[in-house]
Each structure stands twice: as structure tokens, then as C-alpha cells.
């Protein structure tokens, strides 16, 4: 029985409700009147239900599809402006006791090089990331209570926040580790993490169990209810995601929106972010073995429809996607991207040789952070290294209300410009710096409050003169 308020996975993600929604969308995919009605509701920028959103995803009317794309682009601009938040993943350990069929870290893979960073190695990796200009990390690790217990993860977080190297600093550490207990989530919160990210992989219980035949991750309910436990442990920024390519995309699209609705109804705060990873080739993983791959066009439509359905959420695309694909989805709703990423343990200090590869998957976008920053600015985006909301305690519903208040132009925009200025002063190539300084000058006009604008100008001058870390 479907119940958005239920604490039970199989009730807030109801299989029957998903199947009925898919049938409803199939029946109505050319129903112009209904699609117009849904678009009218979407234009109020308050989001859509999973059932309304799947009708838009399935919509087969070309003119309406163009309207969907245009609306997604407009909503993205209204909520997030032209800022794109930058981050990088940091792989701590690829020891894992799970049997995930799509991930080369699976326990039966005896061929992959297993590695776990020591605290000294973490310092080196983080200094390499700081020297690129990163301020925000997503920690990644396999699940292994012996090699990577929670104490190890906590120690790594502590080490990372403590590293001060030249003008560098990691100011926000997000964490993507296996589902765990309320008590462990509380410890992560106390360690000062930003977002807790956990991908559902697929919301279809049967496929989920087949894809995770062994290990603790096999437990569908424990995994699906993890965000509720994280919030109970005090973490109020959580990040959802499914791995597109594993299961039918329409099913998982509906499932992820039901999960977002559950968090909003049951916990009072929807997902801080939604990620849209797609399955990639990796060590002993051939993505062609899975028959649910999606085209770039379907991928773009998924991004647009999530943006319309959950207007307030941050949306993340990683370097799993190519430059061309990233360019397309940036317009349609993406607000955060990674740059210069390495998916191997220790890969920032030393890129790994082919025969000793610990990478989780092949990256498509292999450009440096400087190249990505320059590319974004040339398209008119403002790359942002901002971490202010989290550091000012604007998390959970406090972040959401800022977003919904429209004051973001006088808060997030100045913060984005100031952190970009830091990047340009400390890490950019001369060409990128030239483009960036001109962009900042132009983007100051977006700040509407004259007092804030004057202050930003002062802060920018101070940054040029060597001071760091200003924020609103
Ligand atoms: N071990 C944790 C867990 O099970 O949630 C951390 C996750 S893992 C380091 C990060 C994510 O990478 C996974 O949740 C999965 O969605 C994704 N992933 C695994 N194999 C992949 C592949 N071959 N291609 C693309 N993404 C993959």
C-alpha cells in the first residue's frame, strides 16, 4: 500500500504505485489537455508529483517537449542563476565486501588492485586537490567494516579539514559511503560533513536484489531507508541518485521522485541534491551486458523533468559524462559538476598505470579543472567554489527557504564571485584569469542590493590584495 509518510521502504516506494504511474503516463503521453494542465502547474515553480512528472518524461508531442526544455532552463535560472558549483571526488579506499554486479570494487574481483589511503597519503592527495583549486570534496569508499570502519572515515574527515596548504583549504566535505546506522550518521554529522550522499542504484526491489546478490548492501529496505536514518542522526542535507543503465529508467525516475516526496513529507526537507550517474565501463564491468542503457537524448529529458519536478534541489553531473553531454544538461538543470576528477585511490598524486588500476570507472571528461572553469565561463556560467551556506548553518530547511525567498542574488551570487576570484588569483592560468576577471566585472550587475554590491567590490579588492575567505 502506497504511503508517502510511512517509514517502510516498500510503502513510500510502492511498486504498485510506480506501475500504475507508468501505465497512466503511457496512456496520457499524447494527451495535450493533460500535458498543458501539468505544464501550467509546473510554471508555478512549486514542483510536480511523481505521476505528473512521468507524464512529462513520456510526452511524445514535439512542441510540448520544447516547452518542457524551455521551462526547465527557466526554472534553473530562477533558482540557481548562472552559477555552477565545483567539486571533486576523493577515493579513500576500494576495499569492499559487497557483490554489486556493476561495480569493479565487488568482493569477487581478485584482479583489481586494492588500496586504502593512509592519513599521510590523504594529506598528499588533498594538497594536490587544493593546488588545483578545489574547496569542496565528495569522499568515496567501498563498504568494508574491517578496512574502512566508520572510525577510519571520521579520521579522514578530521585530517582533511585540518590541512592548510598555501591559500588552500577544503571547506566542505560531502560523504558518499554505504548505508549505516543512526549512531554512525550522528558521528558523521559531528565530524562536520556537508551532504550525505547515497545512490539508490535502482528503486526496483527485485532488480536491486539481483544486482546486489551478496553483502550488506543486498538489504533493500536498509539501503532505501538510509536517508531517514541519516536525518534522524542530525544530517539534514542528503543527496539522492540512481545509477541509470541498471534498470528501466522510467521506473527509477518515478522512484527517485517518490523518495524526494517522502523526505519532504516525512522529514520536512527534500533532497539537497539529486545525482544522475550513468553506468560506465570499468575494470571487469562491461556496461553493454546491462540492457537498460539510455541515449543522451533520454538522459537530457530526465534532467529537465527532475528540474521541473523538484525545482529547489541541486542537481549533479559527474565526469562520467562527456563534455558535449555535460554542456547539454547544464542548460536543463544541472547546478553542480565535478572537474579534474580521478576515480582511483591515490589518483591525484600519481595517475595509475594500466596494469595496477584501482579506478572505479572510466571518466569521459578528462579535462583539467582549469579547462573546465574556462569552458564554463566562456558559456556565460559562473563557476562557484562557495561553501558559505553550510558554514553559516544554512542547511536543510534554512537553505531551502533562502532558495525559495529569491534573496539568492544578494547572497549566493556575491559568494560565487568572491570564491571564483580566489580561484583566479591562486590557481588559474593567465588566459582563464583574464576571462574570469572580465566575467566578475560584468556579473557584479546581477547583485541588486547597492550596499551588498559595494561590500562585494571591497571584498574583491581585498582578495586581490591577498586576503581570503569572505562570505555572506
Ligand atoms: N560503497 C558506497 C555505496 O555502496 O553506496 C559508496 C558508493 S560508490 C564509491 C559510488 C557510486 O558509484 C555507487 O553508488 C554507484 O552508483 C557508482 N558506480 C559504481 N560502479 C559504477 C560504474 N561501473 N559506472 C558508473 N558508476 C558506478
CATH number for 240: 3.20.20.70
Assess whether pLDDT exceeds 90 at residue 409.
no
* Residue 58 falls inside a structural domain: yes
Q: What CA–CA distance (Å, rounded) separates 278 from 384?
A: 24
Please tell me the pTM assigned to this model. Answer: 0.97
Helices 430-443, 412-426: crossing angle, 10 deg rounding:
160
Tell me, in angstroms, the distance from the centre of ligand 1 to residue 313's CA.
Answer: 21
Using the 3D structure, point to which of 76, 99, 126 is the last residue of a domain: 76
Residue 384 pairs with which residues in a beta bridge? 85
Residue 411 domain boundaries: 406-464
Arithmetic mean of pLDDT over the chain? 96
Tell me, in angstroms, the distance from the centre of ligand 1 to residue 73's CA.
Answer: 28
Assess whether pLDDT exceeds 70 at residue 355.
no
User: Are 165 and 312 found together in one domain?
Assistant: yes
pLDDT-derived band of residue 358, with 50, 70 and 90 as boundaries?
confident
* Residue 258 falls inside a structural domain: yes
Q: Which helix (H) or strand (E) holds 161?
A: helix 150-162
Nearest CA to ligand 1 atom 21: 103
Nearest CA to ligand 1 atom 1: 142
User: Are 205 and 62 found together in one domain?
Assistant: no
User: Are 115 and 67 found together in one domain?
Assistant: no
Q: Which of 372, 457, 390 is nearest to 417 (CA)?
A: 457
- Given ligand 1 and candidates 103, 218, 284, which is best to mutate, with the most ligand atoms within 8 Å of its CB? 103
Assess whether pLDDT exceeds 70 at residue 392.
yes
Q: What CA–CA distance (Å, rounded) separates 189 from 231?
A: 10
Q: Write the DSSP symbol of residue 57.
A: H
User: Are 63 and 90 found together in one domain?
Assistant: no
User: Are 340 and 413 found together in one domain?
Assistant: no
Percentages helix, strand, coil for the chain (3-state, rounded to 5) are 50, 10, 40
Q: Which of 138, 115, 117, 130 is nearest to 162 (CA)?
A: 130
Q: Cβ(320) to ligand 1 under 6 A?
A: yes
Question: Which residues, at least 6 apart from 306, have a Cβ–Cβ distance to it below 8 Å?
Answer: 53, 253, 256, 257, 274, 276, 313, 315, 333
Q: Are 230 and 238 in contact (CB under 8 A)?
A: yes
Assess whether pLDDT exceeds 70 at residue 350.
yes
* Residue 387 falls inside a structural domain: no
User: Are 171 and 90 found together in one domain?
Assistant: yes
Nearest CA to ligand 1 atom 13: 199
User: Are 64 and 125 found together in one domain?
Assistant: no
Tell me, in angstroms, the distance from the centre of ligand 1 to residue 327's CA.
Answer: 23
Question: Which residues, at least 6 apart from 115, have a Cβ–Cβ distance to it below 8 Å?
Answer: 93, 94, 344, 345, 346, 358
Assess whether pLDDT exceeds 70 at residue 287.
yes
Q: Cβ(176) to ligand 1 under 6 A?
A: yes
Higher model confidence: residue 359 or residue 412?
412
Q: Which of 386, 379, 446 is nearest to 416 (CA)?
A: 386
Q: Are strands 314-317 and 382-384 parallel, antiparallel or unpaired?
A: unpaired
Rg (CA), the chain: 21
Q: What CA–CA distance (Å, rounded) separates 234 from 10?
A: 24
Q: Cβ(212) to ligand 1 under 6 A?
A: no
User: Are 345 and 432 found together in one domain?
Assistant: no
Q: Cβ(90) to ligand 1 under 6 A?
A: no
Q: Cβ(177) to ligand 1 under 6 A?
A: yes
Tell me, in angstroms, the distance from the centre of ligand 1 to residue 278's CA.
Answer: 10
User: Are 64 and 118 found together in one domain?
Assistant: no
Q: Cβ(143) to ligand 1 under 6 A?
A: yes
Q: Cβ(361) to ligand 1 under 6 A?
A: yes
Q: What CA–CA distance (Å, rounded) separates 452 from 381?
A: 21
Using the 3D structure, point to which of 313, 341, 366 is the last residue of a domain: 366
pLDDT for residue 353: 67
- Given ligand 1 and candidates 246, 286, 360, 361, which is best to mutate, with the most ligand atoms within 8 Å of its CB? 360
* Residue 227 falls inside a structural domain: yes
* Residue 472 falls inside a structural domain: no
Task: Give the tens place of pLDDT for each residue, 244-271.
Answer: 999 999 999 999 999 999 999 999 999 9
Q: Cβ(285) to ligand 1 under 6 A?
A: yes
- DSSP per position, 185-209: HHHHHHTT-S-EE---B-S-HHHHH
User: Are 187 and 126 found together in one domain?
Assistant: yes
pLDDT for residue 300: 98
Assess whether pLDDT exceeds 70 at residue 356.
no
* Residue 471 falls inside a structural domain: no
* Residue 375 falls inside a structural domain: no
Tell me, in angstroms, the distance from the centre of ligand 1 to residue 121's CA.
Answer: 22
User: Are 55 and 92 found together in one domain?
Assistant: no
* Residue 10 falls inside a structural domain: no
Asked which of 19-33, 295-309, 356-370, 454-468 is least confident by mean pLDDT, the reply is: 356-370
User: Are 143 and 182 found together in one domain?
Assistant: yes
Q: Are 78 and 47 in contact (CB under 8 A)?
A: no
Q: Are 158 and 206 in contact (CB under 8 A)?
A: no
Q: Are 35 and 61 in contact (CB under 8 A)?
A: yes
Using the 3D structure, point to which of 366, 386, 417 is the last residue of a domain: 366
Task: Give the tens place of pLDDT for each residue, 289-343.
Answer: 998 999 999 999 999 999 999 999 999 999 999 999 999 999 999 999 999 999 9
pLDDT for residue 401: 83
Q: Of ligand 1's atoms, which has the minimum distance to the CA of residue 282? A: 23
Question: Which residues, at least 6 apart from 444, have a Cβ–Cβ distance to it below 8 Å?
Answer: 417, 453, 456, 457
Tell me, in angstroms, the distance from the centre of ligand 1 to residue 231's CA.
Answer: 22
- Tally of structural domains, the chain: 3
Higher model confidence: residue 361 or residue 149?
149
Q: Are 175 and 188 in contact (CB under 8 A)?
A: yes
pLDDT for residue 9: 98
Asked which of 106-110, 146-150, 371-375, 406-410 is least confident by mean pLDDT, the reply is: 406-410
pLDDT for residue 305: 98
Q: Of ligand 1's atoms, which has the minimum distance to the CA of residue 140? A: 9
Task: Give the tens place of pLDDT for each residue, 177-231.
Answer: 999 999 999 999 999 999 999 999 999 999 999 999 999 999 999 999 999 999 9
Amino acid at each position: 500500500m502506497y504511503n508517502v509518510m510511512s517509514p517502510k521502504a516498500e510503502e513510500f516506494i510502492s511498486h504498485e504505485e510506480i506501475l500504475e504511474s507508468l501505465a497512466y503516463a503511457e496512456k496520457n503521453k499524447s494527451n495535450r489537455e493533460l500535458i498543458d494542465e501539468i505544464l501550467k502547474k509546473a510554471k508555478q515553480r512549486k514542483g510536480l508529483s511523481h505521476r505528473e512528472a512521468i507524464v512529462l518524461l513520456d510526452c511524445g508531442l514535439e512542441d510540448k517537449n520544447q516547452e518542457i526544455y524551455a521551462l526547465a532552463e527557466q526554472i534553473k535560472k530562477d533558482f540557481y542563476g548562472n552559477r555552477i558549483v565545483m567539486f571533486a571526488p576523493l577515493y579513500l579506499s576500494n576495499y569492499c565486501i559487497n557483490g554489486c554486479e556493476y561495480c569493479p570494487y565487488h568482493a569477487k574481483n581478485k584482479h583489481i588492485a586494492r588500496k586504502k589511503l593512509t592519513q599521510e597519503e590523504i594529506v598528499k592527495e588533498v594538497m594536490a586537490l587544493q593546488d588545483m583549486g578545489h574547496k569542496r570534496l565528495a569522499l568515496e569508499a567501498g563498504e568494508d567494516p574491517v578496512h574502512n570502519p566508520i572510525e577510519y572515515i571520521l579520521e579522514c574527515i578530521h585530517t582533511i579539514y585540518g590541512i592548510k596548504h598555501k591559500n588552500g583549504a577544503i571547506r566542505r566535505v560531502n560523504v558518499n559511503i554505504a548505508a549505516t546506522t543512526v549512531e554512525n550518521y550522528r558521528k558523521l554529522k559531528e565530524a562536520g560533513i556537508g551532504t550525505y550522499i547515497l545512490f539508490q542504484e535502482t528503486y526496483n526491489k527485485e532488480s536491486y536484489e539481483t544486482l546486489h546478490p551478496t553483502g550488506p548492501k543486498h538489504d533493500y529496505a536498509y539501503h532505501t531507508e538510509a536517508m531517514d536514518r541519516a536525518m534522524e542522526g542530525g544530517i539534514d542535507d542528503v543527496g539522492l541518485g540512481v545509477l541509470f543503465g541498471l534498470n528501466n529508467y522510467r521506473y527509477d525516475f518515478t522512484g527517485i521522485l517518490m523518495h524526494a516526496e517522502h523526505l519532504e513529507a516525512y522529514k520536512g526537507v527534500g533532497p539537497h541534491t539529486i545525482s544522475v550517474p550513468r553506468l560506465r565501463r570499468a575494470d571487469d564491468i562491461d556496461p553493454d551486458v546491462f540492457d537498460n542503457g539510455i541515449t543522451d537524448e533520454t538522459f537530457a529529458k530526465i534532467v529537465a523533468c527532475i528540474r521541473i519536478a523538484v525545482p529547489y534541489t541541486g542537481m549533479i553531473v559527474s565526469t562520467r559524462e562527456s563534455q558535449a553531454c555535460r554542456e547539454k544538461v547544464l542548460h536543463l538543470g544541472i547546478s553542480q559538476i565535478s572537474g579534474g576528477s580521478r576515480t582511483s585511490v591515490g589518483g591525484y598524486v600519481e595517475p595509475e598505470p594500466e596494469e595496477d588500476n584501482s579506478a572505479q570507472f572510466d571518466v569521459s571528461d578528462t579535462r583539467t579543472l582549469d579547462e573546465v572553469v574556462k569552458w564554463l565561463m566562456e558559456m556565460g556560467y559562473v563557476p562557484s567554489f562557495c561553501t558559505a551556506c553550510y558554514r553559516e548553518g544554512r542547511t536543510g530547511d534554512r537553505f531551502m527557504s533562502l532558495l525559495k525567498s529569491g534573496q539568492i542574488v544578494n547572497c549566493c551570487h556575491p559568494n560565487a564571485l568572491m570564491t571564483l576570484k580566489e580561484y583566479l588569483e591562486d590557481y588559474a592560468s593567465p588566459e582563464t584569469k583574464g576571462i574570469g576577471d572580465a566575467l566578475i566585472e560584468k556579473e557584479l550587475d546581477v547583485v541588486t542590493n547597492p550596499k551588498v554590491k559595494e561590500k562585494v567590490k571591497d571584498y574583491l579588492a581585498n582578495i586581490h590584495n591577498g586576503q581570503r575567505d569572505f562570505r555572506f
